[in-house]
């Protein structure tokens, strides 16, 4: 998995992504993620890996938000979901190296991105750099249980998963390693807990 491959594979996914995944799979997790966030009208929100914009309908109309993604084709789909007269902007950018100012966002949303970017740790460190004191991060993604190694079958399956643009064998703890963080909430989500929703507060980051 690398940026060049991800741009190619998500160019292929863009026309069918919502139909194949969000309509039948991810919608419940996205809704729950925003229930936990409890966004306030004065907050600035960053969506890293905004994709086709499936998270955008859950953002309250008074919120100012920026969505970034590496795939122009996915961003094109997201633009079609932008409501009129809303302060939501979309920009092409690499989640591992974002051209944004330090401490400029109150909330960062990492929805199905830490298992997709080539370097999950780089994405996480960028998240912390951009988060204001007292801010929050919400993660919705799939991870191996902490302390559990991948089985042979899962390792083989992951070869195909990477070709499709995702990694099913990442540990959240390894991604967060070396940084200070406070997990305020961690709950199982889809597929018997393969997917999880994690809320992190920056008060102790």
Q: Is the distance from CB of 181 to CB of 131 less than 8 angstroms?
A: no
Single out the residue of 159, 131, 129, 139 nearest to residue 49, CA to CA. Answer: 139
Angle at 95 between CA 75 and CA 173, to 5 degrees: 130
Mind listing the domains of the chain with CATH numbers? 3-204 (3.40.50.150)
pLDDT digits (tens, 9 = 90+) for 96-154: 999 999 999 999 999 999 999 999 999 999 999 999 998 999 999 999 988 888 899 88
3-state secondary structure 40-58: CCCCEEEEECCCCCCCHHH
Q: In what order do the strands lie in the sheet with 195-201?
A: 88-92, 64-69, 44-48, 105-111, 131-142, 195-201, 182-188
Residues 38-74: pLDDT tens digits? 999 889 999 999 999 999 999 998 899 999 999 999 9
Q: How far apart are CA 99 and CA 168, in angstroms?
A: 28
């Amino acid at each position: 998995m690398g940026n060049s491959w991800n741009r190619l594979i998500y160019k292929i996914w863009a026309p069918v992504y919502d139909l194949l995944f969000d309509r039948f799979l991810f919608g419940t997790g996205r809704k729950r993620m925003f229930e936990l966030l409890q966004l306030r009208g004065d907050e600035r929100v960053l969506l890293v890996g905004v994709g086709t914009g499936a998270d955008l309908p859950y953002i309250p109309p008074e919120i100012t938000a920026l969505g970034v993604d590496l795939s122009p084709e996915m961003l094109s789909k997201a633009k079609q979901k932008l409501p009129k007269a809303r302060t939501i902007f979309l920009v092409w950018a690499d989640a591992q190296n974002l051209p944004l100012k330090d401490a400029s966002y109150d909330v960062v949303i990492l929805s199905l991105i830490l298992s997709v970017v080539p370097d999950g740790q780089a994405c996480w460190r960028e998240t912390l750099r951009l988060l204001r004191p007292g801010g929050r991060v919400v993660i919705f993604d799939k991870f191996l249980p902490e302390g559990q190694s991948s089985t042979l079958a899962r390792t083989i399956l992951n070869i195909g998963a990477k070709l499709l643009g995702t990694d099913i064998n990442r540990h959240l703890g390894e991604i967060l390693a070396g940084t200070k963080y406070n997990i305020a909430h961690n709950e199982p989500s889809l597929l018997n807990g393969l997917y999880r929703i994690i809320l992190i507060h920056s008060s102790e980051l």
